């Protein structure tokens, strides 16, 4: 939830594009992946080059909405690139790992988490936490430090000191209940730290 609210939505990043069905997209637009005329790999390569040229950092992370992931798995441009790696016994499959290799990123995730947005007593309102039709392209460092740029950072208070992030307490419940309580405390926040190291693509399908 913290990630989706802080990073995975429109209006966060300085660079944002919208998917359209037109094969002649205007500035700030791209052809939706649900359109067979699109080329997702070429699009991502182009945007990675744009970011690298302007910041000196090449994007190495991708987060996909569920519908975007499903569309990429059956996209002709993607299937064409992987089909020769399969056989009758082991047909070619498009997985998260395969897409990470195609897009040449170190880490690719699919935003599958689901929550019930209904208030107590109301009918269930189930849905994906992250935008199922969007995706994020970003650079994140593997070596966090004050002087190291990154699209975002997770700031956590080590309330016990010496890097201890979460104190855990456990104590017995009321007599006769045969219960034990375990309590953990943690203070953390996710913040954007480099507006130009993230690109958000909305309505990708």
Which 3-state string (H, E, C) describes the chain? CHHHHHCCCCCCCCEEEEEECCCCCCCCEEECCCCCCCCHHHHHHHHHHHHHHHHCCCCCEEEEEHHHHHHHHCCHHHHHHHHHHCCCCCCCCCCHHHHHHHHCCCEEEEECCEEECCCCCCCCCEEECCCCCCEEEECCCCCCCCCCCCCEEEEECCCCCCCCCCCEEEEECCCCCCCEEEEECCCEEEEECCHHHEEEEECCC
**Mean pLDDT calculated for residue range 102-128:** 95
Contact criterion met (CB below 8 Å) for 196 and 15: yes
Which superfamily does CATH assign the domain made up of 2-153+191-202 to?
Answer: phage-related protein like domain (3.90.1690.10)
Please check the confidence at residue 138 and state whether its pLDDT lies above 60: yes
β-bridge mates for residue 15, sequence order? 199
pLDDT in tens, 162-191: 777 778 889 888 888 889 999 888 888 899
Please check the confidence at residue 159 and state whether its pLDDT lies above 80: no
Longest dimension (CA), the chain: 72
193's CB contacts (< 8 A; 6+ apart) are: 149, 150, 151, 152, 153
Look at residue 164 in the predicted model and tell me its pLDDT: 75
Question: In percent, how much of the chain has pLDDT > 90?
Answer: 75
Contact criterion met (CB below 8 Å) for 62 and 100: yes
Chain mean pLDDT for the chain: 92
Contact criterion met (CB below 8 Å) for 55 and 196: yes
Token digits for 67?
Answer: 């519908």
pLDDT in tens, 43-67: 999 999 999 999 999 999 999 999 9
Question: Domain ranges in the chain?
Answer: 2-153+191-202
Question: In percent, how much of the chain has pLDDT > 70?
Answer: 97
Residue 83 — very low, low, confident or very high, per pLDDT cuts 50/70/90? confident
């Amino acid at each position: 939830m913290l990630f989706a609210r802080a990073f995975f939505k429109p209006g966060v990043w300085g660079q944002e594009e919208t998917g359209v069905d037109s094969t002649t997209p205007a500035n700030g637009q791209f052809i939706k992946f649900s359109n067979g005329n699109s080329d997702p790999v070429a699009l991502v390569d182009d945007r990675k080059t744009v970011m690298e040229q302007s910041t000196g950092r090449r994007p190495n992370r991708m987060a996909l909405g569920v519908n975007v992931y499903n569309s990429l798995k059956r996209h002709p441009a993607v299937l064409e690139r992987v089909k020769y790696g399969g056989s009758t016994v082991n047909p070619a499959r498009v997985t998260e790992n395969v897409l990470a290799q195609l897009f040449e990123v170190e880490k690719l995730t699919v935003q599958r988490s689901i929550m019930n947005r209904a208030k107590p007593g109301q009918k269930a309102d189930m849905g994906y936490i992250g935008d199922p039709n969007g995706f994020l392209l970003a650079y994140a460092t593997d070596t966090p430090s004050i002087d190291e740029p990154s699209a975002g950072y997770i700031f956590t208070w080590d309330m016990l000191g010496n890097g201890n992030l979460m104190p855990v307490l456990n104590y017995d419940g009321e007599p006769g209940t045969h219960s034990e309580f375990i309590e953990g405390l943690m203070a953390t926040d996710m913040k954007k730290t480099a507006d130009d190291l993230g690109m958000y693509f909305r309505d990708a399908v």
